[in-house]
């Protein structure tokens, strides 16, 4: 899939996402630093199988296993301006943790969704929860509903007519990168530059000469940022024409997707746009996490 026309949500479901009550059906360590949690729930038959870099929201249970009633589970799911405002008004100890992830597997026929969770060190709320999760544990997934038709909400991958693709990220981006790569048909030239503290985590990624892995040496981004700069130098060395400083990165031929730690993503986008001259409209960028704390309170 390379994107599509944006359609309006169904009049009977006024918001692009639906809150799906789910329970844990399996927890499996699939690489040294990733746990695959499979969620099951009858309503997941309506979970939209768009894949790619689809954002979903995990609503974790409180320590006693409960989900506070802040309006999210009304049917149809209300607009975030309603339920999120109620959530913000709750005492801190009554607020369920909200975090954004990308599904690694969507099986509407089986009413199941897989989420591959990278275990951060130090562990954040989802890492802690996943490491102690048990079969039957209940939570909520806020995700796309196929009954709305294709809305495009929560998707950033949009290469348009580009056939040269550059995907950049750290471990948190591995599920989305794997989804995106598996969606590509013939006629695409894709390079993948990623950072991983353990090379065995690479098992989640596609194989081939276009995939490069770097270990972080001095904080987030220190693994993939040098590779991006070397990629940039290769583009410039391939430029035979001094009259045009950036012909190696034409707007109609290249599309870049970046995701990972917010600071590293911002620095990489700045380098690609300012130093290589890649049009900003050809760069999609997502801050998945922030060194030192969550992206939002």
Average pLDDT over residues 188-214: 92
**String of DSSP letters for 282-297:** GEEEEEEEBTTB-S--
pLDDT in tens, 159-183: 998 999 999 999 999 999 999 999 9
Is 204 in contact with 180 (CB distance < 8 Å)?
Answer: no
pLDDT in tens, 236-265: 766 555 555 555 555 568 999 999 999 999
CATH numbers and ranges of domains, the chain: 17-148 (2.40.30.10), 164-289 (3.40.50.80)
pLDDT for res 5: 35
Lowest mean pLDDT among 6-10, 14-18, 69-73, 126-130: 6-10
* Separation of alpha carbons 195 and 206, rounded Å: 14
Is 254 in contact with 164 (CB distance < 8 Å)?
Answer: yes
pLDDT for res 295: 61
* Separation of alpha carbons 215 and 35, rounded Å: 20
pLDDT for res 252: 67
Two tokens, residue 276: 């290589």
Q: What is the DSSP letter of 277?
A: -
Most confidently predicted of 69-83, 128-142, 199-213 = 128-142
Q: What is the DSSP letter of 75?
A: S
Average pLDDT over residues 135-152: 94
Beta strands 164-169; 189-195: pairing state: parallel
pLDDT for res 58: 97
């Amino acid at each position: 899939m390379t994107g599509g026309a944006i359609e309006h949500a169904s009049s009977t479901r006024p918001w692009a996402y639906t809150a799906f009550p789910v329970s844990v059906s399996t927890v499996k360590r699939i690489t040294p630093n990733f746990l695959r949690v499979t969620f099951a729930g009858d309503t997941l038959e309506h979970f939209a199988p768009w894949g790619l870099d689809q954002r979903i929201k995990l609503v974790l249970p409180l320590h006693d296993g409960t989900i506070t009633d802040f309006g999210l589970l009304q049917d149809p799911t209300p607009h975030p301006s309603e339920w999120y405002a109620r959530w913000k008004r709750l005492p801190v100890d009554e607020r369920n943790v909200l975090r954004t992830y990308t599904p690694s597997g969507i099986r509407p026929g089986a009413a199941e969704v897989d989420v591959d969770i990278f275990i951060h060190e130090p562990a954040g709320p989802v890492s802690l929860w996943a490491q102690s999760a048990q079969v039957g544990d209940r939570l909520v997934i806020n995700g796309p509903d196929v009954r709305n038709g294709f809305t495009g909400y929560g998707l950033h991958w949009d290469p348009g007519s580009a056939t040269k693709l550059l995907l950049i990220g750290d471990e948190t981006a591995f599920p989305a990168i794997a989804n995106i790569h598996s969606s590509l048909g013939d006629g695409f030239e894709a390079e993948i530059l990623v950072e991983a503290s353990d090379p065995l985590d690479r098992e989640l990624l596609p194989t081939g000469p276009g995939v490069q892995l770097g270990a972080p040496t001095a904080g987030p981004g220190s693994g993939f940022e040098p590779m991006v700069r070397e990629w940039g130098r290769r583009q410039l060395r391939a430029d035979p024409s001094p009259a045009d400083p950036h012909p190696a990165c034409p707007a109609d031929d290249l599309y870049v997707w970046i995701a990972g730690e917010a600071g590293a993503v911002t620095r990489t986008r700045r380098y690609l746009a300012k130093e290589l001259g890649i049009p900003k409209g050809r760069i999609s960028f997502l801050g998945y996490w922030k060194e030192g704390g969550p992206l939002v309170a």
